[in-house]
Amino acid sequence: MTSAIIITFCFLLLIAYVFDISSSKTKIPSVILLLLLGWGVKQMSVFVDISLPDLSPFLPVLGTVGLILIVLEGSLELELNKSKLGIIKKSFFGALFPMLALAFLLAFLFSYFGGYDIKASLTNAIPFCVISSAIAIPSVKNLSAYNKEFVIYESSLSDIVGVVLFNFFAFNEIINWNSFGSFFLQLLIIIIVSFLCTIALSYLLNKIEHHVKFVPIILLIILIYAVSKVYHLPGLVFILLFGLFIGNLDELKHYKWIEKFKPDELNKEVLKFKELIAEFAFLVRALFFLVFGFLMETSEILSTQTLLWAISISILIYLFRAIQLKLSNLPLKPLLFIAPRGLITILLFLSILPINSIGLVNKSLIIQVIIITALVMMFGLMTNKKQSASKY
């Protein structure tokens, strides 16, 4: 039995790897194929009457670790200098304004049609407003350097802003001035913690001489995030700042205190670290979507009760995105289509407390919105001509 499980997992992950390397040519997002593969394994196990353990408890764990690794992977790829201020500003507003507009509009619709209170409606609306960096970043490898960088910044910032916004509404019983005061205090605390932890981890990355050095660093990063989550601090801010710091040592060389880290030597270690993070991110992302696909029921995918809502939400997603792209003077094609929902949407949905749960938002609706937005991205990238390395 043990050998069969090992063989099955290895086989499925190898298929996931094939999906990942072929997605840039087929333009089919690997998430769709992974979900279908997981769902197919479930149907096969039912057909041959194989009893498997409940995998649902593993989903939040895989999602959380995957989110950390994906945001870290994205932040390590970003350049931080004065020439990037424009794209950073556009990315931030591109992540923030459509999210806020869509969240409040969906909350109003949930409240109006379902009779739910506005706080619960907002908590349930926010998961639909977050662009999935887990799907977006691997799907834009063939875009121009500018558009690819925009998507990396935007989707990473969308994850962070989405989680912060969700925690604010989900874990504050009453929204008042005290809530906003606590929020800004938490933000200040995590920035200070991020600075101290980034310095400490960078020092360890450079000083550890044991042949095993990257795994302890990764475990410490996950530990810091998990502890910050316990205290409702925006831990993804730490992940982003840490990745930006060690990924941009060359831009910080003019500061004398940076010399203490021996940036030239540290850069070599960072390159190895980036490669390992990319490997781990792929593994956890693939496992997450395989498990989620395995847990999907056919009735949930084909539910007609939620299909109209799923289509309506998807239309609103692209409407607000189109407005923001126009205001930012960015090309609609192909950026309009790159707004998939995925890992973070699922993770936030699973984090909704029973007291804030509403009947309109269920697993069927989540699955359908994820599939619709992934398919829109797929067709958008398929119809997009291969871009040069120019600005657009």
At residue 380, the pLDDT reads 87
At residue 388, the pLDDT reads 42
At residue 253, the pLDDT reads 66
- 46: how many CB neighbours lie within 10 A of its CB? 11
The answer to whether the CB of 32 falls within 8 A of the CB of 302 is no
At residue 14, the pLDDT reads 92
2-48+57-382: CATH, from 1.10.760.10, 1.10.3720.10, 3.90.320.10, 1.20.1530.20? 1.20.1530.20
Please state the pTM of the whole predicted model.
Answer: 0.85
At residue 104, the pLDDT reads 94
The answer to whether the CB of 112 falls within 8 A of the CB of 360 is no
- Strand, helix or coil at 212? coil
At residue 261, the pLDDT reads 67
| Euclidean distance between CA atoms 32 and 135, whole angstroms | 10
- Strand, helix or coil at 76? helix
Give me the residue spans of the domains in the chain: 2-48+57-382
At residue 114, the pLDDT reads 83
| 164 token code pair | 């912060």
> Which DSSP category does 211 fall into?
S
| Euclidean distance between CA atoms 280 and 19, whole angstroms | 16
**Helical residues (DSSP H) of the chain, grouped into ranges:** 2-26, 30-47, 58-76, 85-114, 118-125, 133-139, 145-170, 177-207, 214-230, 235-247, 263-295, 298-301, 304-327, 343-351, 363-382
366: Cβ contacts below 8 Å, ≥ 6 apart = 127, 345, 346, 349
At residue 176, the pLDDT reads 76
Spell out the per-residue pLDDT of the chain, length 392, in tens. Answer: 677 778 888 999 999 989 888 877 777 878 888 989 999 988 888 888 777 777 888 888 888 898 888 888 878 877 777 777 888 888 888 889 999 999 999 999 999 888 888 889 999 999 999 998 888 887 777 778 888 888 888 888 888 888 888 888 887 777 778 888 888 888 889 889 888 888 888 888 777 877 888 888 899 999 999 998 888 788 888 888 888 888 877 766 666 766 666 767 777 888 888 889 989 988 998 999 899 889 888 888 888 889 999 999 999 999 999 999 998 888 888 899 999 998 889 989 988 888 888 988 998 999 999 999 999 998 888 887 654 444 55
